[in-house]
């Protein structure tokens, strides 16, 4: 439905988007995730033909957006970050204007009524957009995108500035729309993306940092799977600990086992790391059954989307900077006191 | 184009701009009609049309000032530019909306003919010549105003800059007379809106002037389209 290859956008010297490629299938909800300024909005603006790409291709429903913009645009409903609302019009007047603008051939009254009830704006139809609350404005923006039933919906941060109730409503609405439309949705709110999207693209500094379902991304980021076990041994003594550690270590695919602190009397937690390919849960269960131990808890400590997001977006920028900025300290002992002094880095170079 | 035209017409009236424009136009043309036509006991309205040049010059930027600049400022241009319509439809929709309002304002002269008809005979040929001259002048000025409006996000800046631009065009006559070089002088005079317009009020129907006004309108609408297009590539 949407095919993007090697999309690049330069603003003068600044490279906003550096070669993004992805495809979205029909009826899929794709989430764009990334910190502010990562290139999400720029990419969406290019997808909708609002700005053009420096290089690369975008095909919407098989039509290149630069070659036949009018045909490609007729397949898209777009809700930009700031909804394009004429505040001096009434909701009804505005939707009628968009209906004409999109050259919609459907039955006007019926189509607009459907959209209004879907977005729950029927009761504000006669009001000036200027006087609506932020939440209603957002919904009118969404209604505008739905006019003419475009097969592709592109929504740039649709829930920003809404209260929690409205966020849940809009999310439910998007899920509902995802059944008949291809949806691309951007956000910097992780639970939102996780709740709504089938597939996620994490964009950072203009490149695709990760791509796939939330689980797939997690698997790619962490090769090892971690697991925490709480096992009740037979004797409730420290001897149990070593026996259990050895037993788990003997399972295929286990790379590392460590006994953690005593949680209940004579019962310990064990941190287990696997190679990421073998599922060891059943093997552990079997061993425990054999030896007469009880598994009191088994918890997979997979990375959450939040962890992944932080890991991807902070990895090269934040961590490196922090390392660079931390001063190098020289320790010296003088008259029995420990003296720490900062080393000036350019000291040697100047001499 | 139709959708944008209807929206802009609606916006002119809901914002009150249309009422201000129409009343100021009627008031000033009424004053000129009273003093230049009725006061001097003639049924020839040419002198009124001659005096209206400078008024049109200052009123049209008010009509066009927010046509493009407001769209950019409120980000509503995102709605237009991502809709399945061409750039020409956007620009022409706005252009014809402003032109329609100008024609409505200008048509107030037909009320004056009723007054003249009571006391004497209406000089229809001269009147229609003047009427269309002003229409063509307005159509060129509106295109210039929309073009300037597309360059800024601030409607006041847009209004002042368009007035200035049109005023410089108006000054071309006096500037040209101070220029020694014959060719430059000729070129400047041929670009003069004022002398071309005044020609009509003195009863000369010059086809080349009509072509000049229409091509100016086309050219500046084309520039506006280019500005919108360039913004996408920026």
pLDDT in tens, A111-156: 999 999 988 899 999 999 999 988 899 999 999 999 999 999 999 9
pLDDT > 90: percent of chain A:
30
Q: Which CATH superfamily is domain A2-220 in?
A: P-loop containing nucleotide triphosphate hydrolases (3.40.50.300)
- pLDDT tens per residue across span B42-65: 888 888 998 899 999 999 999 999
Mean pLDDT of A33-57: 88
Q: Which residues of B touch A11 (CB under 8 A)?
A: 234
Residue indicated by tokens 């329609």: B100
Distance from CA of B222 to the nearest CA of A (A): 19
Q: Which residues of B touch A93 (CB under 8 A)?
A: 10
A12: closest chain B residue by CA? B234
Residue A330 pLDDT: 54
B79: closest chain A residue by CA? A84
Mean pLDDT of A155-178: 86
Segment of A141-145, A248-252, B197-201 carrying the highest mean pLDDT: A141-145
- pLDDT tens per residue across span A275-325: 767 778 888 888 888 888 888 888 776 656 666 677 777 665 444 443 444
| Residue from A75, A86, A150 whose CB has the most chain B CBs within 10 Å, to mutate | A86
Distance CA B27, CA B21 (A): 10
* Tokens, residue B15: 């914002």
* Tokens, residue A208: 């695709």
**Range(s) within chain A of domains with CATH label 3.30.70.1340:** 223-300
Mean pLDDT of A228-257: 83
B81: closest chain A residue by CA? A50
Side-by-side strand order, sheet with A225-232: A254-264, A267-274, A225-232, A294-300
Closest CA to B21 of B97, B133, B123: B97
Going by their DSSP bridges, the two strands A14-24 and A2-11 should be labelled as antiparallel
Distance CA A225, CA B126 (A): 92
Lowest mean pLDDT among A117-131, A189-203, A215-229, B94-108: A215-229
pLDDT beyond 70 at A65: yes
Q: How far is CA A204 from the centre of its chain?
A: 11
Residue B16 touches chain A, beta carbons under 8 Å: no
Closest CA to B111 of B47, B45, B156, B170: B45
Residue A48 pLDDT: 92
pLDDT beyond 80 at A7: yes
Q: State chain B's mean pLDDT as an integer.
A: 91
Residue A57 touches chain B, beta carbons under 8 Å: no
**Range(s) within chain A of domains with CATH label 3.40.50.300:** 2-220
CATH topology of domain A223-300: Alpha-Beta Plaits (3.30.70)
Q: Where are the beta strands (DSSP E) in chain A?
A: 2-11, 14-24, 29-33, 55-60, 63-64, 76-79, 152-156, 182-187, 199-204, 207-212, 225-232, 254-264, 267-274, 294-300, 329-334, 337-342
Instruction: Supply the ipTM of this predicted assembly.
Output: 0.89
Distance CA B214, CA B191 (A): 13
| Backbone angles phi and psi of A161, in degrees to 5 | 80, 10
Banded model confidence at residue A349, pLDDT cuts 50, 70, 90: very low
Mean pLDDT of A240-246: 84
pLDDT > 70: percent of chain B:
100
Select the more confidently predicted residue: A317 or A214. Answer: A214
Q: Which residues of A touch B10 (CB under 8 A)?
A: 89, 93
Banded model confidence at residue B18, pLDDT cuts 50, 70, 90: very high
Give the ranges where chain B is alpha helix by DSSP (H).
2-14, 17-32, 46-73, 77-81, 87-106, 109-119, 124-150, 155-177, 182-190, 193-201, 207-233
Mean pLDDT of B73-78: 92
Residue A338 pLDDT: 53
Residue A337 pLDDT: 55
* Tokens, residue A279: 């599922």
pLDDT beyond 50 at B209: yes
- pLDDT tens per residue across span A219-239: 666 555 678 888 888 877 778
| Residue from B84, B225, B234 whose CB has the most chain A CBs within 10 Å, to mutate | B84
Nearest to A73 among B3, B6, B82 (CB): B82
Instruction: Return the domain boundaries, chain B.
Output: 2-233
Distance CA B207, CA A337 (A): 100
* Tokens, residue A42: 């720029």
Chain A to chain B, count of Cβ pairs less than 8 Å apart? 74
Element containing residue B117 per DSSP (H, E)? helix B109-119
Banded model confidence at residue A251, pLDDT cuts 50, 70, 90: confident
Mean pLDDT of B159-176: 89
Q: Give the single-character DSSP code of B38.
A: I
Q: State chain A's mean pLDDT as an integer.
A: 82
Q: CB of A88 within 8 A of CB of A39?
A: no
Give the ranges where A14-156 is alpha helix by DSSP (H).
40-47, 69-73, 91-101, 108-119, 134-146
Residue A89 touches chain B, beta carbons under 8 Å: yes
Residue B217 pLDDT: 96
Residue B169 pLDDT: 86
């Amino acid at each position: 439905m949407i095919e993007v290859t090697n999309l690049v956008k330069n603003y003068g010297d600044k490279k906003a988007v550096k070669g993004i490629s992805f495809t979205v299938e029909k009826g899929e909800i794709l989430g764009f995730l990334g910190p502010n300024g990562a290139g999400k909005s720029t990419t969406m603006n290019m997808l909708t033909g609002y700005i053009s790409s420096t290089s690369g291709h975008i095909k919407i429903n098989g039509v290149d957006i630069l070659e036949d913009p009018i045909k490609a645009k007729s397949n898209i409903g777009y809700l930009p970050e700031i909804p394009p609302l004429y505040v001096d019009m009434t909701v009804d007047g505005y939707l009628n204007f968009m209906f004409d603008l999109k050259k919609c051939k459907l039955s006007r009254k019926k189509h607009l009524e459907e959209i209004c009830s879907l977005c729950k704006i029927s009761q504000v139809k006669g009001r000036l957009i200027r006087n609506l609350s932020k939440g209603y404005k957002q919904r009118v923006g969404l209604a505008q995108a739905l006019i003419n039933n475009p097969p592709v919906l592109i929504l740039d941060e649709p829930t920003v500035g809404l209260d929690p109730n409205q966020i849940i409503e809009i999310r439910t609405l998007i899920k509902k729309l995802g059944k008949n439309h291809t949806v691309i949705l951007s956000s910097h709110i992780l639970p939102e993306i996780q709740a709504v999207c089938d597939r996620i693209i994490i964009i950072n500094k203009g490149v695709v940092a990760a791509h796939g379902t939330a689980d797939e991304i997690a698997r790619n980021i962490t090769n090892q799977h971690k697991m925490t076990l709480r096992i009740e041994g037979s004797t409730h003594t420290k001897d149990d600990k070593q026996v259990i550690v050895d037993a788990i270590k003997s399972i295929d695919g286990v790379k590392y086992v460590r006994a953690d602190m005593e949680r209940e009397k004579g019962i310990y937690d064990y941190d287990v790391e696997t190679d990421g390919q073998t599922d060891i849960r059943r093997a552990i269960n079997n061993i425990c059954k054999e030896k007469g131990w009880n598994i009191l808890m088994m918890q997979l400590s997979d990375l959450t989307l939040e962890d992944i997001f932080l890991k991807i977006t902070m990895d090269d920028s934040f961590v490196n900077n922090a390392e660079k900025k931390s001063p190098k300290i020289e320790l010296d002992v003088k008259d029995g006191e420990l003296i720490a002094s900062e080393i000036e880095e350019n000291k040697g170079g100047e001499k | 184009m139709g959708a944008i035209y209807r929206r802009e017409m609606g916006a002119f009236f809901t914002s009150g701009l249309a009422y201000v424009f129409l009343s100021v136009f009627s008031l000033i043309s009424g004053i000129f009609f009273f003093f230049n036509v009725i006061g001097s006991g003639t049924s020839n309205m040419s002198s009124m049309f001659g005096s209206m040049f400078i008024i049109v010059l200052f009123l049209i930027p008010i009509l066009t000032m927010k046509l493009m600049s407001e769209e950019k400022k409120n980000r509503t241009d995102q709605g237009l530019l991502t809709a399945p319509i061409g750039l020409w439809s956007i620009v022409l929709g706005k252009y014809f909306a402003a032109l329609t309002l100008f024609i409505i304002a200008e048509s107030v002269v037909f009320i004056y003919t009723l007054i003249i008809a009571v006391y004497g005979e209406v000089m229809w040929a001269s009147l229609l010549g003047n009427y269309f001259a002003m229409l063509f002048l307005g159509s060129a000025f509106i295109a210039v105003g929309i073009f300037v409006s597309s360059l800024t996000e601030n409607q006041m800046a847009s209004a002042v800059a368009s007035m200035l631009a049109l005023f410089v065009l108006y000054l071309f006559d006096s500037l040209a007379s101070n220029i020694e070089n014959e060719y430059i002088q000729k070129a400047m005079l041929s670009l003069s809106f004022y002398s071309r317009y005044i020609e009509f009020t003195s009863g000369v129907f010059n086809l080349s002037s009509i072509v000049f006004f229409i091509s100016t309108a086309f050219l500046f609408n084309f520039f506006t389209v280019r500005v919108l297009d360039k913004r996408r590539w920026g």
